[in-house]
Structure 1
Amino acid sequence: MTATPTNADDWVGTIATKAKVPPEEVQAVLDRHGILPQAALPRRRQLRLAYIALAGRKQGTDDDRDIDFRWPQGDGEMGAGLWAFLSDRNSRGKSSLLNLIQAALRGEFPGIVKPDVWGWLSLVEVAFRIDATPYRVRVEKEVGEVDPRMARGTLSRGEGDARIDLYAGSADKPFEKAVADNMMEEFGFGSFHAFNKAYGPRTHGWNAIATSFFVHGPGSAVFGNVTRDGVPLRLLQMFMGLPWITTYSAASTAFKKVCAEGEKASSADPARGRLAERLKATEQELDDLRARSGTRVDRPRLRLDLVTRDRETMPLRAAVALAEERVDTLDRQASAARGSVAELKRTLQQMRDEMAAGMVFRRLRPVCCPSCDNGIDAKRFNTAEGGGTCALCGEKHVEEDDEGPRIDDLQADVCEAEQVVARLNAELAAARRRLRESEAERDVNQARIGEIAAELASVEDPDTEFRVRALEAQAEQLREIIAEVAAPAATAVADDAAVLRQVEKVTRELFDDMQRDVLKEVSDEVAALSRRFGVQHVEGMDWSGNNTLAIRQGGADITFSDLSPGENLRVRIAAALAVVAVARRRRFGRYPGLLVLDSPRSQEMTDDDFAALMASVQEVINETGDAQVIVGAATKPALVGVVPGQQTLHAQGNRFLF
């Protein structure tokens, strides 16, 4: 019998009965851990990209020019159906447009947009509709500016003929949060709560959900790119529209957290002691195996770290170049200033020497002319002293007082020039410190890139890695069993654990039967669509409640991770459209119906296979009637005609999309 959602009061009452506590105590535990009942079947809301507009100027390319781009052109908007960004050659802007769309829907700039493209732009405007309500994300900045804090981001919603700004400010973290909060509220999505003993409680929100709309190739999960904390399963459950999922997620997280806190209490339970011994032996074997095999390479994390480091390389190099230019400029200015000081000091000393020489010569009393040796009357000196003229030449004496102001002015110039030198030396020292810091950051980043490349190049023993993973899972299971069988201590934590265990159990029972029914229907739909999309010899699929997609292919039983890259991609596309189709038939479900595919042909597909895949996608879209799929791909003859011409943006020959 399929379980039907109950109201909140019935839910609390059932938990109280099974936990053997009053309903008031159950409600207190729920309030203490922030667990809210969400029993209603959700209403699906549609997400549609309307248009994308760009402005700016290309720089440092073979095609430097102003950017003035809008698609669709004029006042048109994109609707349901298959849309395509095509080009005859690679590197013509397809991925950049799709990445800008992703950045706008997440409010995360520049996100995965290439640094050079981000630098070209002065305006990014992406409009979309949630059902009939229009929204617009707009980012404005100076051409060449790369810091999102220096850009202005605006999130606005249309209200009739007017537009209301929901956020206006810097285009960094506050902007990202404003977009995420608005999206979560509009779609009625709840955050996924998780607890891991190594990392503690964590929450996954809009960014984790939004990754499921963008498929850049094969992935380790059917939905989205976040694989930890059971996020792919939570996404599937949410997109299927099951009630109580958010409540169950919060209850499960709270229960794990409370159990982890209660593990510290000692217990004399014999069963727990035996389990503890098994756990100790398992952990010892795991340590020995790790010691023999070396550190296991976490390749997905390393690749993500490598992408992040590569993205940071150009800004770090630019910072070093800017610091070097600043040091060179200040060095030249300081050298010129020091030369000016030296010249002023030489002039000052020369003037002082000339004044001193004048004083000496004026006090001389020659007895004869130095030119003709004729005698000089001593009375002329007395007369000259009184009149201020020279007894020999008759010229007016230059008094010392006349030179004093000039020397004072020159001394003041020397002091001022020395102050300028001191200031420039200080700025030069600070600039050199900044240069050393920038070079250190660049070198650390480059060294880490080298380390990551070396780690990725290392060879691992798959059997050893499989054994390590198995032992890790066994140890984790033993820890959970020990937490469950531990005798509860007389503490609030232990009391909460008893109630939360029943909250988790009762809540799961409310959607378990419905989940099995919906998963069966989704599994059949994914299998059918996968066959239509070119996955050969698929006999059936079974999506279990623990997020394992079992596949029967060519008489063999495999899982999603065993598929080839091309099959993996086809199944990911099929899963998204299958959820839309099942939701349409059942009249509930929450997948917004937007799917963006970036260069899917690169995954082991011939031109004919790719064209057939797109043709099949077009057929499925026509059947569902309300999905929007946007694909970026290289143009091939077999593809022409698959996508309607008015829904295709095509860069022919050597042209660029923008």
Structure 2
Amino acid sequence: MSRSITQVEDDAAGPVEAWLEEIAKTSQQLVKMVREVLAEHGVRAHTALPRPHRILVTAVEFEGVRPAPDGQQQDAADVPFRFHWEPGPGVWCLASTGKNEAGKSSVLEIILWCLRGRAGLQRDVRSWLRRVRTEFVLDDEPFVVEMTVTGGIPTGSVVSKQTGAELVSFDGMKAFEESMDAFMLDRLGLEPLRTQQKPRGDVEALPVTGELSWPSYASGLYINRKGLGHLLGNESRNALPTRLLELFLGAPWAPTMVAASVAQKVVAAQLSAARQRAAADAQARRAQLGELTRQLETERARLEALPEQGQAAADLSAAYRTLTAATATAGEAQRALAAARLRHDTLEEQRHSLAQAVQTAQEAALAQAFFHTLMPTVCPRCDTKVSKEQWAREQEGHCSLCTSRLPEPTDHDHDAHGDEETETADDLRQALAGVQQEAEEAAGLLATAQAQALAAADTVTRAEAALQEALKDPGTSERRTVELAVARLEGAVAERTGRYDDLDAAVDITPLEVANTILKAAEKAAHARRTAALKHVLKDVEKDIVTMGRALGLEMLQRVELGTGATLTVWKGGQQHTYGSLTEGEQLRLKIVTTTALLRHGIRSGVGRHPGLLIVDSPGAEEVDSKDLRLMVQDLVKLTDMAPGLQVIIATARGEDVASLIPEGQLRLAPPGARLW
């Protein structure tokens, strides 16, 4: 379920909105809430189904070795075999003459194995295989499934013959089934069938949810003598026959109905479990509250029975008060100590920085005065002696080294420079003196704070000792213990009769109740739409079943009723019968004619989604006479004439009965007493 219910086609907006409005009205919820719940549980509207897809098998080839036939010498070599067949549209037949073990059913099972990924072959036959290749066309694109088989285990791939691209690769039974499942669901536009089942032996357990996927759908391609208790396919659990009926007829709203039904059953189970938990929790809370109340009454009676402590109780209360006050004072003293230490350390850092600045200013002034009095005699770069001519230039106002013009010295400049340096040093010394004084004051405050903190800590120690001394009185200790027990129990009782009291209303299950109501309404509304769409279709199918059934030897067949749940009720000989109460021969004929009628209608209407491949194994059961078998085959031939793209592959041991009915070139008949491969 990859899309939410809001992601539907534009042309379906009207029916979908009507469906949502009906759900909202039935469940008495807002449409917004309905949308949210359906999206959360993967339920979306399927008002119309995608176009049908077609599968056509075009070739099947396999080879291997099998043991020598029974009766030959034990050391006889294994017998190699190879089979190649190229069927096409229409009715194709694998037949033998009176020999049931001719390999016909194995060919059908190999075809099905390659198409669905799940093996139905007998284990011994699978162990004989070495190489298998099946070609098929799906919607005009040819594919080939090719695999090697070692010890019955397949390894291979699915390749598009159109592009040459490898689409699927697999190694092992499970990998092959999973790969074909994903490939076929995607190519055929099918969705997994959601299921739910109650675990056996545990009535309180939540249902196990799952999915029936392509191998289950593929049972609609196969009619054989097994599983005749079910109208369509070979599996009966999880409403599969109903789903296959919808597949044949292309029923709208059917996937929506199934998804809503499964989701509702899961939510209903969760709701039931939540209610049981809520009831159990409420009962446990009531039992716990009763026990706590009983304990509280016991402790109160015990407290009342204790003698009054008089002065001892007063001394204990005073000791508690003293300790509390001393602890508070000690806390304040520690905070004051921390503040005093921080201020003292900050001022010490400032004093140190200013002292360094004063020293630096003094040294700079002395260095400048010294260097200005120096008369260079050599160049500091190359050690060349300064000449008299250079000295003469300096007398003229030029530097004796670099010849730059020297500033004219004046008494005013010299005094100003000296005054500026003196002023800077004085400012620094003045600032240093101020910080020094503040640091000394802070040191005094720090010492006072340390003394106060020590005194407060000592007071706390003495108060704790006094309290411990007061608690040594046996009467005081017991009363205190009982008082604490009473206080604790009073709090526990108040909590459970207050904050937890509302839990008896089980407010936590409200979302589940809302979801259950909405999903019920959604399933009911989708079921009504799906049933309305199927009812008039099924009437036409029922007429075809009766007509073909009479032609196949069911002369007493009067009418049938094909239910929307894939149930078949039969009236013959003036009596009503269920499908399961009929003989095996009657079941087989009705199964074939019902499948044929469903296919015919789906093809005629253009909405049926059956992929157009029908495999029929052994329709000529012992209790079916030659005339009826011929009529069944004739009807299948007529069906393929009406739908040229339909392919029917039949396997029968009564080749002589059907040989004249199968179109030329479409019958593979084993020689009398021999195998097909």
Q: Secondary structure in 2 aligned to 1:163?
A: coil
Q: In the alignment, is residue 236 of structure 1 matched against residue 249 of structure 2?
A: no
**What code does the residue aligned with 2:126 have?**
W
- TM score, norm. by length of structure 1: 0.61
The answer for the alignment partner of 1:642 in structure 2 is 661
CA deviation string 1:404-425 (max 9, x = no partner) = xxxxxxxxxxxxxxxxxxxxxx
Deviation of the 1:532 alpha carbon: 2.4
Q: Tell me if structure 2 keeps the 8 A contact 1:192–1:204.
A: yes
For residues 235-634 of structure 1, the aligned pairs below 5 Å read: 235-266=244-275, 490-634=509-653
Within 1, Cα distance between the matches of 2:579 and 2:13? Answer: 31
Q: In the alignment, is residue 95 of structure 1 matched against residue 114 of structure 2?
A: no
Q: Tell me if structure 2 keeps the 8 A contact 1:30–1:36.
A: yes
The answer for the alignment partner of 2:80 in structure 1 is 66
Residues 1:65 and 1:6: Cα distance change in structure 2 (over 3 Å): farther
Q: Tell me if structure 1 keeps the 8 A contact 2:241–2:565.
A: no
- TM score, norm. by length of structure 2: 0.59
Within 2, Cα distance between the matches of 1:176 and 1:638? Answer: 37
Within 2, Cα distance between the matches of 1:502 and 1:638? Answer: 54
Deviation of the 1:5 alpha carbon: 9.0
Q: Tell me if structure 2 keeps the 8 A contact 1:238–1:245.
A: no
Within 2, Cα distance between the matches of 1:546 and 1:640? Answer: 37
Within 2, Cα distance between the matches of 1:590 and 1:46? Answer: 9
Within 1, Cα distance between the matches of 2:531 and 2:659? Answer: 46
Residues 1:636 and 1:584: Cα distance change in structure 2 (over 3 Å): closer
**What code does the residue aligned with 1:653 have?**
P
Residues 1:68 and 1:548: Cα distance change in structure 2 (over 3 Å): closer
**What code does the residue aligned with 2:142 have?**
P
Q: Secondary structure in 2 aligned to 1:578?
A: helix
Within 2, Cα distance between the matches of 1:139 and 1:165? Answer: 13
The answer for the alignment partner of 1:192 in structure 2 is 193
Q: Tell me if structure 1 keeps the 8 A contact 2:231–2:567.
A: no
Aligned residues: 423
Residues 1:5 and 1:655: Cα distance change in structure 2 (over 3 Å): farther
Deviation of the 1:488 alpha carbon: 9.5
Q: Secondary structure in 2 aligned to 1:646?
A: coil
2:130 to 122, 132, 150: 122
Q: Tell me if structure 1 keeps the 8 A contact 2:143–2:159.
A: yes
Within 1, Cα distance between the matches of 2:113 and 2:528? Answer: 38
The answer for the alignment partner of 1:81 in structure 2 is 90
The answer for the alignment partner of 1:446 in structure 2 is none
Within 2, Cα distance between the matches of 1:608 and 1:569? Answer: 15
Q: Tell me if structure 1 keeps the 8 A contact 2:659–2:667.
A: no
The answer for the alignment partner of 2:492 in structure 1 is none
**What code does the residue aligned with 2:583 have?**
S
Deviation of the 1:135 alpha carbon: 2.0
Q: Tell me if structure 2 keeps the 8 A contact 1:154–1:168.
A: yes
CA deviation string 1:208-236 (max 9, x = no partner) = 11112111216111111111122111211
Q: Tell me if structure 1 keeps the 8 A contact 2:275–2:506.
A: no
Residues 1:56 and 1:490: Cα distance change in structure 2 (over 3 Å): closer
The answer for the alignment partner of 2:115 in structure 1 is 105
Residues 1:535 and 1:131: Cα distance change in structure 2 (over 3 Å): farther
Within 2, Cα distance between the matches of 1:121 and 1:631? Answer: 22
Within 2, Cα distance between the matches of 1:606 and 1:126? Answer: 34
Q: Percent identity?
A: 27
Larger Rg, first or second structure (1 or 2): 2
Q: Tell me if structure 1 keeps the 8 A contact 2:59–2:136.
A: yes
Q: Tell me if structure 2 keeps the 8 A contact 1:488–1:495.
A: no
Within 1, Cα distance between the matches of 2:108 and 2:13? Answer: 39
Q: Secondary structure in 2 aligned to 1:104?
A: helix
Residues 1:185 and 1:99: Cα distance change in structure 2 (over 3 Å): same
The answer for the alignment partner of 1:167 in structure 2 is 168
**What code does the residue aligned with 2:146 have?**
R
Within 1, Cα distance between the matches of 2:647 and 2:37? Answer: 43
Deviation of the 1:97 alpha carbon: 0.6
Q: In the alignment, is residue 21 of structure 1 matched against residue 29 of structure 2?
A: yes
Residues 1:607 and 1:529: Cα distance change in structure 2 (over 3 Å): closer
Residues 1:654 and 1:29: Cα distance change in structure 2 (over 3 Å): same
Within 2, Cα distance between the matches of 1:119 and 1:637? Answer: 32
Deviation of the 1:636 alpha carbon: 4.4
Deviation of the 1:16 alpha carbon: 2.8
Deviation of the 1:569 alpha carbon: 0.7
Q: Secondary structure in 2 aligned to 1:140?
A: strand
Q: Secondary structure in 2 aligned to 1:141?
A: strand
- Which range is displaced more, 516-525 or 607-616? 607-616
Residues 1:6 and 1:533: Cα distance change in structure 2 (over 3 Å): farther
Q: Tell me if structure 2 keeps the 8 A contact 1:51–1:126.
A: yes
**Runs of 4+ deviating beyond 4 Å:** 4-7, 486-490
Q: Give the aligned CA root-mean-square deviation in angstroms.
A: 2.4
**What code does the residue aligned with 2:115 have?**
L
Q: In the alignment, is residue 157 of structure 1 matched against residue 160 of structure 2?
A: yes
**What code does the residue aligned with 2:80 have?**
D
Q: Tell me if structure 2 keeps the 8 A contact 1:576–1:595.
A: no
CA deviation string 1:363-384 (max 9, x = no partner) = xxxxxxxxxxxxxxxxxxxxxx
**What code does the residue aligned with 1:155 have?**
V
Q: Tell me if structure 1 keeps the 8 A contact 2:144–2:160.
A: yes
Within 2, Cα distance between the matches of 1:639 and 1:68? Answer: 25
